C-alpha cells in the first residue's frame, strides 16, 4: 500500500474529494484540518468519550455511529457520512432550523459547556432513525436510550437532561414505539 491514499466521501450530502491524504489519517483530523468542519469534538482520542461521534450511512446497514478520533480515513473512504454540521436544516427563507434532537436538547437545557453535545446529537439521531425502522415497546424506551447513549461521557449536566430529552422526543414522535405506555415518565433520574 502507498503511504498516501486518494480519499473521497459524501459528507452531509456533499461529495468531497479526491483528496490525497496520509494513509493513517484519522477521520477527525480530516474533518478539522482538511474539510473545515470543526464541530466534531476531539475528547479522549481513544474512542472512549464519544464526543467525536459521527454518523455513517451504509446501504444495507442503515445509519450507525462511529468515533471519528479512532476511525481512519482508510476505512471511511467512499462512504456517506454525517457530522454535526449536517444536523440542522436551512428553510426557504435561509433561516437555520435545529433538528428535532437539537431542539429537544435546547428545551431540556441538556448541556452546559457543550463539548460533548455534537456526539450526543449524532448518537441520538441514529437512535431515532433506527427506531423509525424498528420501533421499540413504549415501556422500553428508557433502556433503548441508555443503550444508545451509555458510552457518551458528559461532565457538566450528569446525563439526566440528555436522557430525558431523547426519551420525551421518542415518546412524542409517532411511529417510534409500539403498544401503550404504562410506565410512569420519571422526572428524577
Partner 1 sequence: MDKAQRSKFTRIAAGIAAAAVVVLGGMYIAGSASGSVPPATVDFANISAEQKQKLFDRGLQVFRAADCAACHSSPTTGAELAGGMAMVTPMGTLYGTNISPSREHGIGKWSADDLYRAVARGMAPGRKNLYPAMPYASYHDITRADVDALWVWLQAQSAVEVANRSPEMNFPFSIRPGLALWNALERPAGGPAPEAVNTLDRGAYLVNTLGHCGECHTPRTSSFAMDLKQSLAGNVIEGAYAPDLRPKSMAARGWSERDLLQFLRTGLSPQGVMTMGMFPVLQHSSAHMEEADLKAMAAYLMQGEKPESRPPVAEAPQTSTSANGERVYLGLCAGCHGVDGQGQPHSSLRLDTNTTAMFPTPLNLVRVIREGLPERDLAHGERMQAMPGFADQLSHEDMADLVNYMRLRWGRQKGDVTPSQVADAIRSAESH
Q: Which of 69, 104, 165, 170 binds partner 1 (CB under 8 A)?
A: 69
Site for partner 1 in 74-103 (CB under 8 A): 74-76
Q: Is residue 51 part of the contact set for partner 1 (CB under 8 A)?
A: no
Q: Is residue 72 part of the contact set for partner 1 (CB under 8 A)?
A: yes
CA distances from 103 to 32, 167, 172 (A): 25, 13, 13
Q: Which of 42, 70, 100, 138 binds partner 1 (CB under 8 A)?
A: 70
CA distances from 52 to 63, 103, 130, 167 (A): 16, 20, 20, 22
Q: Is residue 61 part of the contact set for partner 1 (CB under 8 A)?
A: yes
Tell me the C-alpha distance between 64 and 56, whole Å.
5
Q: How many residues bind partner 1 (CB under 8 A)?
A: 18
**Sole window of 70-78, 102-110, 130-138, 157-165 interacting with partner 1 (rule: CB under 8 A):** 70-78
Tell me the C-alpha distance between 57 and 187, whole Å.
34
- CA pseudo-torsion sign 78, 80, 85, 90: positive
Q: Which of 14, 15, 36, 46 binds partner 1 (CB under 8 A)?
A: 46
Amino acid at each position: 500500500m502507498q503511504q498516501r491514499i486518494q480519499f473521497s466521501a459524501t459528507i452531509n450530502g456533499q461529495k468531497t474529494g479526491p483528496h490525497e491524504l496520509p494513509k493513517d489519517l484519522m477521520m477527525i483530523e480530516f474533518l478539522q484540518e482538511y474539510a473545515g468542519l470543526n464541530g466534531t469534538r476531539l475528547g479522549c482520542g481513544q474512542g472512549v468519550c464519544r464526543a467525536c461521534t459521527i454518523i455513517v450511512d451504509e446501504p444495507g446497514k442503515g445509519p450507525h455511529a462511529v468515533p471519528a478520533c479512532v476511525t481512519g480515513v482508510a476505512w471511511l473512504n467512499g462512504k456517506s457520512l454525517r457530522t454535526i454540521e449536517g444536523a440542522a436544516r436551512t428553510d426557504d427563507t435561509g433561516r437555520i432550523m435545529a433538528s428535532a434532537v437539537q431542539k429537544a436538547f435546547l428545551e431540556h437545557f441538556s448541556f452546559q459547556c457543550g463539548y460533548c453535545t455534537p456526539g450526543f446529537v449524532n448518537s441520538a439521531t441514529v437512535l431515532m432513525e433506527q427506531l423509525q425502522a424498528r420501533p421499540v415497546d413504549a415501556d422500553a424506551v428508557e433502556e433503548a436510550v441508555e443503550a444508545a447513549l451509555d458510552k457518551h461521557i458528559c461532565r457538566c449536566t450528569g446525563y439526566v437532561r440528555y436522557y430525558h430529552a431523547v426519551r420525551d422526543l421518542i415518546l412524542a414522535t409517532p411511529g417510534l414505539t409500539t403498544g401503550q405506555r404504562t410506565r410512569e415518565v420519571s422526572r428524577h433520574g
